[in-house]
Amino acid sequence: MSDREFSGSDELSLPKATVQKIISEIIPSDLTFSRETRDALIECCIEFIMILSTESNDIAEKENKKTIASEHVVQALEVLGFTEYIDPIKEVVHEHKESQKGRERKVGKLESSGMTEEELLKKQEELFGLARSKLHQGSGVA
C-alpha cells in the first residue's frame, strides 16, 4: 500500500474495508449496500470530517489557541447541530484521559520485581535446576 506516496488531499480517503465492516455491523440482514452506495458513503464521511475540522479550527482560533483540542470539537458538534453526539464523545475523552493516567503509572515487570538483573538470573537458574531434577525423577518411574 503506497500510503506514503500520496500527493494532495484527493488521494486521502478512508479505508474501504473498515467502512464495509461498519456497514455490515449496522444494516439489517436482509439489506445490502451496493458498491456505489458505499463509495458515496465514504465521500459523505470525508465531508463530515472536513466540516467538523474546519468548525473546530475556527473555534480554537477564536480562543487564540493554536492546537485543536477535543473541547473545540465538542463545541463544533453543538454548532453543527449534532448535539446528540456530545455525550458519547465526552465519554471517549474521559476514557482517553484515564488511559493516559494509567500509562504513566505503569511500571515494568523488571522494576516491580525488586531484584537486580543478576539476582533474577540466579533465580532463573535455580528454577531451571528444580525443573531438571523433577524431570529426572519423573523418567525413572515405570
Contacting residues toward other proteins, per CB under 8 A: 8-9, 12, 14-15, 18-19, 21-23, 25-28, 30-34, 36-37, 40-41, 43-54, 56-57, 66-70, 72-74, 77, 80-82, 84-85, 88-89, 92-93, 96-97
**Three-class DSSP category at 105:** helix
Tell the smallest beta-carbon distance from residue 53 to other proteins (Å).
4
- Which three three-digit cell numbers place residue 17? 474495508
Of 98 and 126, which has the nearer Cβ to other proteins? 98
Least separation in angstroms between residue 62's CB and other proteins is 14
Please name the residue that has the C-alpha cell 500520496.
Answer: 6
- Of 97 and 122, which CB lies nearer to other proteins in the complex structure? 97
- The one-letter code for the residue type at 34 is S
Q: Please give the grid coordinates belonging to residue 71.
A: 473541547
Minimum CB–partner distance for residue 108 and other proteins (Å) = 23
Closest approach, Cβ 65 to other proteins, in A, equals 9
How many CB atoms neighbour CB 78 within 10 A?
14
60 neighbors 68 (Cβ within 8 angstroms): yes
Q: Could you give the CA distance from residue 138 to residue 124 in angstroms, rounded to a whole number?
A: 21
CA distance 129 to 121: 12
For other proteins, the closer of residues 88 and 138 by Cβ is 88
Decide whether 1 or 131 has the Cβ nearer to other proteins.
Answer: 1
Minimum distance from CB of 23 to other proteins (Å)? 6
